Chain A
Amino acid sequence: MEKIIGIVGIPPLEIIRQINEEQGRIIDLDEPQLPLPMNREDHLPQVYCAILRTVMLNAMNMPLDRIYIDIGQGKCDCALHVATVLQHLLTIPVITTRNQDSKGFGFPICRSNLPLTEKLQAITQGVQSCEPSPDYPPSVPTAGFWGVPPRDFSLLSLFPNSTHVYGWTRCMENKTPADINLESYCNPAVPTVFFAQSFCAKTALAKHLAEHHPKGLYVDCDVNAGSSIRAKIEAFLELSQNTSPAPAASTDNGSPGDDHAAG
């Protein structure tokens, strides 16, 4: 009988390979999987990362056989604490992992011309596979999205297709979630929105990088992207395009420095 296995963050490739071999079905618990309102989650403080509250909501209400939760540098300390809570609450195995994978698989989706929503859907889906992403031709970047996949993907629809993806999402595609150098990388030639979920530890890095970027905007939002967040991103993108000359095209991906070594 098919096992249903929840994952949180990016467990090491060895774990993914094992699950694939046993033909288990992987459920990404970081993403909303159930039509349940967030206020049904009452095991964590209300003022807490919306991704991890989503994890808790999924884990407590789905028929899972076991859960892998990546903790440490590849995810966050809060995931460690959520793992502890789930270990107390659930009878299924809740196994913590520490992903130190360092072999880079590249990030062609991050630099492609796909709509940003499709980019992030493909990247988060790719976590369930041990294979690299399909090859996409690089686009010339006119905007950047730095950060984790948001809980509310609707905010991604505000960005142009020529948005390149940086931060932990780029690390996800590269299958090196603990690569802080890759995560910290951004392209100073590209107006970039630095996004983190409210109450996430990564807000510190997002704010820091945004302050040092010539055209950076720091944005955080909780469960859903409200009208003011959307307006901020919309205004930033429009006003940045008005004032910044488009980066010169190059043979690779259109902008100096945007070819940070994969792994």
Chain B
Amino acid sequence: MLLADFGTSYTKLFTMAEDSEPRIVPTRELDPAFMADLATGHNAKRRGRESVNELIALAKGGQRLIAEPDTVLLDCGSRDIKFIRYQGFEVVDMGWNAECGASMGFTIELLESYYNVDYTTVAVPKTGFSVTCGVLGMSNIFDAVVTGSTETEAVAKFVRGIARNAFRFAGSPDRLYLSGGLCDNPLFLGCFPCKVIPLGRFVLLEGLKEHLRSKRGLTRALPATQLLYEVEPFLM
């Protein structure tokens, strides 16, 4: 059975009983006829024989991966941001911002190639721009460069503004779990004013696995000792 998270920029694939690790394919490289058996992501209904909505997949993926009963999971995708708040392992609140959170991941990746910025070497800035979304904050970069900042400094301040925006959207928690491609961006992680525990890019695929498990009537979740992602919190 082929599981897929059809993201805006990247598609994450996992074949049950065949793959040991998920695969990542740029979404634009997919054959137009490509279909998955069970899908999530914004193209799930078009490309999946069965689909699960992204928030449900995120919520179930978090329940599978996170051992903390009361916490927040934030997903930063290419074009939107989503959060799930758990209390006693149950979902008590959620949000999905496709407007003011629009194009966050997409814009950060775009800036990386446009300005040739290596996010692994950029220092976390002490201040940042006030941005509302990946599109509306861009002019800050141009203004900063005009007034003497280096391009890298300006981009870093923009990324900080984006991260702070996402942090507030998630309810400004003391610590949060992060999912999505931006988990691989140390500058982005470092710009959060709280502890960040990155879970990586495959949380929604884990949610699909959990969906299958619950459909088969099995009980939920791995015990805390079997967390798939054992990482140190990223603390700023």
A228 & B80 in contact (Cβ 8 Å cutoff): yes
CB contact between B93 and one of A217, A228, A243 (< 8 Å): that residue: A217
B91 & A239 in contact (Cβ 8 Å cutoff): yes
Hey, which chain B residues are within 8 Å of A232, CB to CB?
A: 55, 94-96
Kindly state the separation between the CA atoms of A240 and B55 in the bound complex, as whole angstroms.
13
Question: Beyond A239-B59, A240-B91: 13 further Cβ-contacts under 8 Å?
Answer: A215-B92, A217-B93, A228-B80, A228-B97, A234-B53, A235-B53, A235-B55, A235-B94, A236-B91, A239-B56, A239-B91, A243-B90, A243-B91
Nearest CB of B to A194, in Å: 12
Nearest CB of B to A198, in Å: 10
Hey, which chain A residues are within 8 Å of B59, CB to CB?
A: 235, 239
Q: Which residue of A lies closest to B45 (CB)?
A: A227
Q: Scoring B residues 45 to 62 as 1 if CB is less than 8 Å from chain A, else 0, what string do you get?
A: 000000001111001000
**Using a CB–CB distance below 8 Å, which chain B residues touch chain A?**
42, 53-56, 59, 80, 90-98
CB contact between A236 and one of B54, B80, B94 (< 8 Å): that residue: B94
Q: Does A231 contact B (CB under 8 A)?
A: yes
What are the 9 tightest A-B residue pairs by CB atom distance, in nearest-first order?
Answer: A235-B55, A228-B96, A228-B98, A231-B53, A243-B90, A239-B91, A235-B56, A232-B96, A231-B55
Per DSSP, chain A at the interface is helix
Cross-chain pair count, CB within 8 angstroms: 36
Hey, which chain A residues are within 8 Å of B56, CB to CB?
A: 234-235, 238-239
Kindly state the separation between the CA atoms of A238 and B54 in the bound complex, as whole angstroms.
13
Hey, which chain A residues are within 8 Å of B55, CB to CB?
A: 231-232, 234-235
Kindly state the separation between the CA atoms of A228 and B91 in the bound complex, as whole angstroms.
17
B42 & A227 in contact (Cβ 8 Å cutoff): yes
Find the residue from B53, B95, B97 having the highest chain A CB count within 10 A: B53
Nearest CB of B to A230, in Å: 8
Q: Does A226 contact B (CB under 8 A)?
A: yes
Hey, which chain A residues are within 8 Å of B92, CB to CB?
A: 215
Kindly state the separation between the CA atoms of A231 and B77 in the bound complex, as whole angstroms.
16
B53 & A226 in contact (Cβ 8 Å cutoff): no
Kindly state the separation between the CA atoms of A215 and B90 in the bound complex, as whole angstroms.
10
Q: A239-B56, A239-B59 are in contact. Are A231 and B96 (CB under 8 A)?
A: yes
Q: Which residue of A lies closest to B54 (CB)?
A: A231
Kindly state the separation between the CA atoms of A38 and B145 in the bound complex, as whole angstroms.
40
Kindly state the separation between the CA atoms of A232 and B81 in the bound complex, as whole angstroms.
12
Kindly state the separation between the CA atoms of A227 and B82 in the bound complex, as whole angstroms.
13
Hey, which chain B residues are within 8 Å of A234, CB to CB?
A: 53, 55-56
Nearest CB of A to B68, in Å: 17
Q: Which residues from 227 to 252 on chain A have a C-beta closer than 8 Å to any C-beta of chain B?
A: 227-229, 231-232, 234-236, 238-240, 243
Q: Which residues from 107 to 158 on chain A have a C-beta closer than 8 Å to any C-beta of chain B?
A: none
Q: Which residue of B lies closest to A238 (CB)?
A: B56
Hey, which chain B residues are within 8 Å of A217, CB to CB?
A: 93-94
Kindly state the separation between the CA atoms of A243 and B84 in the bound complex, as whole angstroms.
15
Q: Which residue of A lies closest to B88 (CB)?
A: A243
Kindly state the separation between the CA atoms of A19 and B42 in the bound complex, as whole angstroms.
49
Hey, which chain B residues are within 8 Å of A240, CB to CB?
A: 91
Hey, which chain B residues are within 8 Å of A215, CB to CB?
A: 92
Nearest CB of A to B127, in Å: 29
Hey, which chain B residues are within 8 Å of A231, CB to CB?
A: 53-55, 96
Q: Which residue of A lies closest to B214 (CB)?
A: A242
Hey, which chain B residues are within 8 Å of A228, CB to CB?
A: 80, 96-98
Kindly state the separation between the CA atoms of A229 and B94 in the bound complex, as whole angstroms.
11
Nearest CB of A to B162, in Å: 19
Find the residue from A217, A226, A235, A236 having the highest chain B CB count within 10 A: A235
Nearest CB of A to B233, in Å: 26
Kindly state the separation between the CA atoms of A153 and B54 in the bound complex, as whole angstroms.
23
Hey, which chain B residues are within 8 Å of A239, CB to CB?
A: 56, 59, 91
Kindly state the separation between the CA atoms of A234 and B98 in the bound complex, as whole angstroms.
16
Nearest CB of B to A243, in Å: 5
Hey, which chain A residues are within 8 Å of B97, CB to CB?
A: 228
Kindly state the separation between the CA atoms of A236 and B90 in the bound complex, as whole angstroms.
11
Nearest CB of B to A128, in Å: 36
Hey, which chain A residues are within 8 Å of B93, CB to CB?
A: 217
Q: Which residues from 177 to 234 on chain A have a C-beta closer than 8 Å to any C-beta of chain B?
A: 215, 217, 226-229, 231-232, 234
Hey, which chain A residues are within 8 Å of B94, CB to CB?
A: 217, 232, 235-236
